[in-house]
Amino acid sequence: MKEKRSQFGTKLGVIMVTAGSAVGLGNIWRFPYEVGANGGGAFVLLYLIFVFFVGLPVICGEFILGKRSRSGIRGAFEKLHKSRFWGSVGYISILAAVLIMGFYSVVASWTMEYIVQSVEGFSGLSSPEDFHNRFELLTATPVRPVVWTALFLILNYLILIRGVEKGIEKVSNLMMPLLFILLIAFGINSLLLPGAGEGLRFLFHPDFSKLTGEVVLRALGQAFFSLSLGMGCLVTYSSYFKPETPLMRTGISIAVLDTFVAVMAGVMIFPAVFTYGQEPAAGPRLVFEVLPMVFSNMPSGSIWSLVFFVLLFLAALTSIISVSEIIIAYLMDDFGMSRFKACTVHFVISLVFGVVCALSFSSLSDFKIFGFNVFDLFDYVSSNILMPLGGMLLSIFVGWVIKRSIVKEELLAGTSHSGVYRVLATVMAFCLRYVAPVAIAIVMLNCLKGI
């Protein structure tokens, strides 16, 4: 017999859990390195436009699909509209989820390394080269990254088998507020650094000469990655929503919270990058070399460092749980597996992908596809191709295939149906129908043209 579908407890719990999925390494690790590698302010501006005009409507679209179908991403389309094509769109999301599991757990394993490093202290390290060499030392050997990645995945597994409400909601409720407070404190600390002006200019002053088709695609990809969009994560979560959960309010809260955390991470990191003479375009290692340097220059730095990396680790955990949930819901819904069995199968698959990614900086560093190592390839393909593609198809489905009255009804569920909400629902439905699919198609085609 099928297990009864879980439900989230409270309204606040719903926001915390979905924000727990959105807020993660994407905001604090990926956002700064993409901003740094893609020219700064102009990228940030584009990113913000994508979050609110494409991301927010797609969030609502995912919510509508999940809440209405009460199904994970693979079955959701099919439940609302029987067709072979729509029945197979969900596989794009599942593929994206598997790829993300691989590289995300490796970055999470770096946060575990840095928790230990913080306890040991960063004594003896002072120049950017010292911090660079320390990071190299951690990633360029095969054993430690593999062990940390495996440990991270085991922990994820143990939380997942406890189920949606007991495991995920509790961790998120505690972690999110703490993370916000800490980010504000570190942001203020960075604003007092001598390079603050230069850092803020880099982050907020748009230099449009830096914009290329590739940069626009990366800004779109970052918006999707950061908001956990286009791969059915929010579809899966909203299948656990109660009927009265307000979709638009939840969506707006997530978009605002997530953007706030990303921008705060930028405020925290770029003043330090310029103060300590680091390279903004350093790529995935940026944050792991800059932040320890900031901490080592603060009084009681190792305690701050410890608290920060513990919170970053928890943020990664609440996000990876949501990626896992996509795969687990698929295994349970489509194969009738028990939760325990689905979690176990998922664990084995993600361990294989995680280990391959962990080794892509050491034993597999010479193995390149299209010039990317496996880690970068999984990151690029999932965020910049699969997630926008999934988001485009989803917005076409909700905007054009599902009845308009259902879309409106769901958008207004749990609200007072007042004038403001009605206008908002109309704007959201318009963006879902026209703005999101067209914008995503243009960005992706434009980039293909440049290849």
Site residues (vs ligand PFF, CB under 6 A): 21-22, 24-27, 100, 225-226, 228, 231, 233, 319, 322-323
Residues 22 and 226: beta-carbon distance below 8 Å: yes
User: CA 215 to CA 206: how far, in whole Å?
Assistant: 13
Q: How far is the CB of 232 from ligand PFF (least distance, A)?
A: 7
Nearer to ligand PFF, 21 or 278 (CB): 21
* 117 alpha carbon, distance to own chain's centre: 25
Q: How far is the CB of 67 from ligand PFF (least distance, A)?
A: 17
Nearer to ligand PFF, 98 or 412 (CB): 98
Q: How far is the CB of 172 from ligand PFF (least distance, A)?
A: 13
How far apart, in Å, are the Cα atoms of 321 and each of 245, 308, 318, 352, 398? 21, 20, 5, 17, 26
Q: How far is the CB of 96 from ligand PFF (least distance, A)?
A: 8
Place of tokens 């749980």: 321
Q: How far is the CB of 179 from ligand PFF (least distance, A)?
A: 12
Q: How far is the CB of 319 from ligand PFF (least distance, A)?
A: 4
Burial tier of 341 (Cβ tally within 10 Å: 0-12, 13-18, 19+) = middle
Q: How far is the CB of 252 from ligand PFF (least distance, A)?
A: 17
81: DSSP letter: S
Spell out the residues 6+ positions from residue 205 whose beta carbon is closer than 8 angstroms to its own: 40, 41
Q: Which residue minimizes CB distance to ligand PFF?
A: 26
* 275 alpha carbon, distance to own chain's centre: 28
What tokens does 222 get?
């970052």
Nearer to ligand PFF, 314 or 429 (CB): 314
Q: How far is the CB of 21 from ligand PFF (least distance, A)?
A: 5
Q: Is the dihedral of CA 250, 255, 256, 257 positive or negative?
A: positive
Nearer to ligand PFF, 193 or 312 (CB): 312
Nearer to ligand PFF, 233 or 314 (CB): 233
Nearer to ligand PFF, 25 or 272 (CB): 25
Nearer to ligand PFF, 268 or 412 (CB): 268
Nearer to ligand PFF, 156 or 275 (CB): 156
Calculate helix-pair angle for 41-50, 196-204, nearest 10 degrees: 50
3-class state of residue 245 by DSSP: coil
What tokens does 371 get?
């010039």
User: CA 224 to CA 386: how far, in whole Å?
Assistant: 10
At 369, phi and psi to the nearest 5?
-125, 125
Q: How many CA atoms lie within 13 A of 83 on its CB side?
A: 9
